[in-house]
Structure 1
C-alpha cells in the first residue's frame, strides 16, 4: 500500500526544480549574450581603442631593434701563449684602475727578456770597443800626418835655401833638383795620408752606424718584450665593472685569447640592427628615440656599418642621457631613427594596424552609434603617428583596436555601454 508523500516534502522538491530551471535559464541567457557579442555585429565602445583624426607634425622614422650595451668596454686578451695560474676577481666585481685580475705563467717570457738584456749589454760593450779602436787608428794617422806635414815644411825650406845659394853662385843644379824631388815626394805622401785619414773617418762612421742600428733594433725588441710582460700581468685598465673573466685555473690560453672584459655600466649605448632596405634612411648624426617599457629617451646615431651582413645593417645609438637609471645593460629596446619631418598633416596614433608601411588599409570609422569600414590611404609614420593621405577628415573617430575578426563585415553597431 502506497504511503502519501507529506506536503512539506512536495514543497521542497518543487523549490529545487524551480531553482534548477532558473540557473539553467540564466546560464543560457549569458551564453547567448556572449555568443552574440562574439559572432554578432554589436561592439561596446568602452572596449575599443578609439581616437580622433587631428592635424600636427610627424617626425618620420624607421623602426629597428636594439640591445643596451656598455658605452665603454675593454676586452683584455693574453699577449702570449701561456696558461692561467691564479684568478683574483669574479664577474660582477667592481675594480679600480691597476687592480690585478688574474696571473699568467710568464717564466719563458721573463727568461727571454733577461737574455735580451744581457745581449744588449754585450752589444753596448762591443760598440764602445769599436769606438775606442777606430778613434785610436785615426789618432795615430793624425799624428803621422802632423809629422809628415812638418817634414814637408822643412824640405820646402831646404829647397828655398838651395835656390838662394844657386842664385849667388854657391849652389849646383843637382842639389836643387834633389831638394825639389824630396819636397814633392813628401808632399805626395802627405796628401795620401790625409786621404787615408778621411777614408778612416768614413769607415769608422759606417761601422759605428751599423752597430748602433743593431743596438736600436735590440732596444725595440726589448721594449716589445717589456710591453708583453706588462700586458701579461692582467690588470684592470680603468675603474669599471668586471663583466667576464676566465676562471679556468691551469688552462692553456693561446695568444689573443679573451681572458677578461671590464665595462663601465654607468653609461650605455644601443647596438642596433635593421633590414638593409632601410640603409639609405640611416646616417651618422641622425636623431633617434629609444623606448623600453615606459622609458622614452632621445639619442644620436654615432656609427653605421658600411657593409651588409645577411641582409642586416648594424648601427649604434648613444642616448643623450647615457646614464639614465631606466637603462640596464643587456636590455632589449625599440629604436626609432628619425629621418624627416612633415608639418600640419592629418594623422592618427600609430598602432598594430599599421603593419606594411605606406599604402591602403581598411579602417573602421565610428559615427552615430555605428562603425563603418572604409578604405584609407596611409603615408609616412613616426613611432607616435601615422600620416593620412586620403579617406579621412579631421575629427573623424577611428577604431585602432585589432579588428581582424570583423574583416568580413562592413558595418557594426557600437553600444555606449
Structure 2
C-alpha cells in the first residue's frame, strides 16, 4: 500500500524541479543571446573612422588630374628640308634672344636657291634679248610701212594723171580703172601692214609682261628661300628654357616638322584632363582649385579642347598666381573644378564610405551600436559630403568603408 511521502522528501523533489526549470531557462537565455550574437555582427570601434554632422558650406567639385605647363611656349618648326648637324642647347638649358639652338645642314636648300638665281639671270638675259628683237622687228615693220605709204602716194598721183589724160582725151577709161584698182590694193595692203604692226606690238608686249611676271615670281621665291635659310639657324627670339629639342644628329627633317620647344618659365598654367562623363559640367570661366604639395592655388577654366581623346577631355586653367614659387614644369597636381556651391547645409567629412556604399543610407553611432538609417546624399568634394535629410547636427556617422555591412540594419560596437 502507498505511503505518504515525508516532508523532507517533498522538499527535495521541489528543489530538484526548481533547479531543472532554472537550468532550462538559463539554457534558453544563453541560446537566445548566442543566436542574437550570430545575427547581429560586431566590430571593433577602433577600426572605424567617424565624424560628426555639422552645418556649413559644401562646394561641389569635379576632380581631375593636371600637369604644370609654361603659360607661353614657343614651338619651333623646321623652315626647310634639312639634316640636323649639331645640337647647341639641350632640354633644360636657358637661352637668350639670338642664341642658336640647332644647326641645320642647308645644302639642299642652297642648291635650290642657286638654281633659282641662275634661272632668274637667264630670264633677265632673255628679257634683254626679247627687247632687242622687239626693236629690230618693229624697225623692220616701220620701214615697210614707210615704203608702203610712199607707194600708195605714188599710185594716188598716177590715178590723178590718168584721170587728167582721160579728161583731155589722151587716155582711156580702162587705164583710169586700172589705176584705181592698183591704188585700192595698195591701200588695203597698207592698212593690213598697220594692223600687223599693232598686233605684233601687243603680242610682244604680252610676252614681255609674262616674262616680267615670271621674274617677279622668281624674285619672291628667292627672297622666301633667303628668309628660310636665315630661319634655319634656329635662334631663340625671347629669353626662356629649352623644354624639348630633336637631338638625333644626322636625322632628316621636313619643312614644318617640330624640332624644338622653348618656354618662358616666369609664368605657368595647368593642363588638366577629366573623364568625358563630366564634359557637360565643364564651363569656361568656372572657378578651380589646384592643389600643389598641400597648397591650394586659385584659378579659372580658360579653355576646353573640343575633341575627346581616349575617353578624356583636356582643358586649361589660368592661375591667379601664375608665377607661384611651387610651380615647376611637368609637375603633376590635383585639380578641383567647382560646379556648385551650397551655403548653410548639413555636412560631414568625406571618407571611403561615400565612395563605396549606397548613397541612400548612412550608419549612425548610438551608444554601442551602429544603426543603418536612410539618408539622402547631396553634392560633395574631397573634404565634405552634403546630407540633405535623415540626420541632424551632432550625429556621429561612420565614414570608413562599410561595404561588408551594407545589408545589416544594426551592428554592435565593441
- Structure 2 length normalisation: TM-score? 0.72
User: How far apart are residue 263 of structure 1 and its match?
Assistant: 0.9
Q: Give 1:388's aligned residue.
A: 387
Displacement of 1:84 in angstroms is 1.8
**Aligned-pair CA distance for 1:330:** 1.1
Residues 276 and 300 of structure 1, relative CA distance in 2, 3 Å threshold: closer
Deviation at residue 404 of structure 1 after TM alignment: 4.1
How far did 1:383 drift?
Answer: 5.8
The structure-2 alpha-carbon separation of the partners of 1:40 and 1:247, relative to structure 1 and needing over 3 Å to count, comes to: closer
In 2, Cα distance between equivalents of 1:143 and 1:332: 88
Deviation at 1:146? 4.8
Structure 1 residues 165 and 253, CA, compared in 2 at 3 Å: closer, same or farther? same
Counterpart-to-counterpart distance in 2, 1:209 and 1:358: 84
Cα distance in 2, alignment partners of residues 350 and 358 from structure 1: 15
2:332 match: 332
2:141 matched to which residue of 1? 141
**Counterpart among 402, 405, 408 of residue 400 in structure 2:** 402
**Pair 1:294–1:349, CA change in 2 (3 A):** farther
Closer/same/farther in 2, CA of residues 128 and 53 from structure 1, 3 Å limit: same
Secondary structure of 2:101's counterpart equals strand
How do 1:1-150 residues align onto structure 2 when only pairs under 5 Å count? 40-41=44-45, 49-54=51-56, 56=57, 60-78=60-78, 79-85=80-86, 87-149=87-149
In the TM superposition, what is the alpha-carbon distance from 1:67 to its structure 2 partner? Answer: 0.7
CA offsets, 1:337-360, max 9 Å, x none?
A: 344x46557342662347559972
- SS in structure 2 of the partner of residue 360 of structure 1: coil
Counterpart CA distance in 1 for 2:398 and 2:100 is 58
C-alpha spacing 1:76/1:164, structure 2 compared with 1 (3 Å): same
8 Å CA contact 1:80, 1:228 repeated in 2: no
Whole-angstrom distance in 1 between the partners of 2:195 and 2:90: 73
Counterpart for residue 276 of structure 2? 276
| Cross-structure match for 1:12 | none
Q: CA RMSD in A?
A: 3.9
- Change beyond 3 A, Cα 1:95–1:350: farther
Contact 1:379 1:388 in 2 (8 A): yes
Range with greater deviation from structure 2 (277-286 or 151-160): 151-160
The answer for the alignment partner of 1:25 in structure 2 is none
Give CA deviations for 1:279-301 in whole Å, capped at 9, x if unaligned: 22234444433232212212223
Q: Which has the larger radius of gyration?
A: 2
**Alignment partner of 1:92: what SS?**
coil
Distance 1:192 1:358 in 2: 104
Tell me the equivalent position of 1:375: 374
Relative to structure 1, is the Cα distance of residues 212 and 359 closer, same or farther in structure 2, using a 3 angstrom cutoff? farther
Measure, in 2, the Cα distance between the counterparts of 1:171 and 1:388.
135
Counterparts of 2:264 and 2:241, CA distance in 1: 6
- Which segments of 5 or more consecutive residues in structure 1 lack a partner in the other structure? 1-37
Cα offset for 1:189? 0.9
Determine the structure 1 residue equivalent to 2:36: none
Q: In 2 relative to 1, CA 354–137 (structure 1 residues): closer, same or farther, beyond 3 Å?
A: farther
SS of 1:188's partner is: helix
Residue 231 (structure 2) pairs with residue 231 (structure 1): yes
Question: What is the distance in 2 between the residues matched to 1:109 and 1:76?
Answer: 18
Kept after mapping to 2: 8 A contact 1:357/1:379: no
Contact 1:364 1:373 in 2 (8 A): yes
Which residue does the alignment assign to 1:196? 196
Aligned to 1:251: 250
2:183 aligns with 183
1:4 aligned residue: none
What are structure 2's unaligned runs of at least 5 residues? 1-41
> Which secondary structure does the structure 1 equivalent of 2:336 belong to?
strand
**Distance in 2 between residues matched to 1:349 and 1:324, nearest whole Å:** 32
CA distance in 2, matches of 1:214, 1:141: 28
Residue 139 of structure 1, CA deviation: 4.2
Contact 2:376/2:389 (<8 A) preserved: yes
* TM-score (normalizing by structure 1): 0.72
Structure 2 match to 1:263: 263
Alpha-carbon separation, structure 2, partners of 1:210 and 1:70: 51
What residue number does 1:297 align with? 298
Could you say if the C-alpha distance between residues 247 and 310 of structure 1 is closer, same or farther in structure 2, counting changes exceeding 3 Å? closer
Partners of 1:222 and 1:153 in 2: CA distance: 56
**Corresponding pairs, count:** 368
